Amino acid sequence: MRGIVDFLIDTQILQIASDPRVMFAAGALFLISLIMGWRILALSLFGVAALVAVARYSKLGEGRTSLDMNMGVFVIGSVLVVAVLVYFLFIRGD
């Protein structure tokens, strides 16, 4: 059990999310959720993927973000992702 905890502490989340196997599995699960009509799962996968994309674009994983343009891109991108999720979950009807 201690080995699992140490692994999770040392692992970079953006590095795991960028792994091609993880991206393929998430993409396949997203397509299956769209075909089967699983709206919550599709929106959850979209939200996670969009936030990871915003974090990668703003270079958040490199530790170079400060109160400059990169942090602004991350904040604005995250707000847009949350706005899209709120729209599809609560505002738009079936």
Q: What is the pLDDT of residue 62?
A: 58
Give Cα 48 to chain centroid, integer Å: 2
Q: What is the pLDDT of residue 78?
A: 82
- Rg for the chain (alpha carbons), in Å? 16
**pLDDT tens digits, one per residue of 21-66:** 888 888 888 888 888 888 888 888 888 888 777 777 766 555 554 5
Q: What is the DSSP letter of 92?
A: S
Query: Residue 94: pLDDT band by 50, 70, 90 thresholds?
Result: low
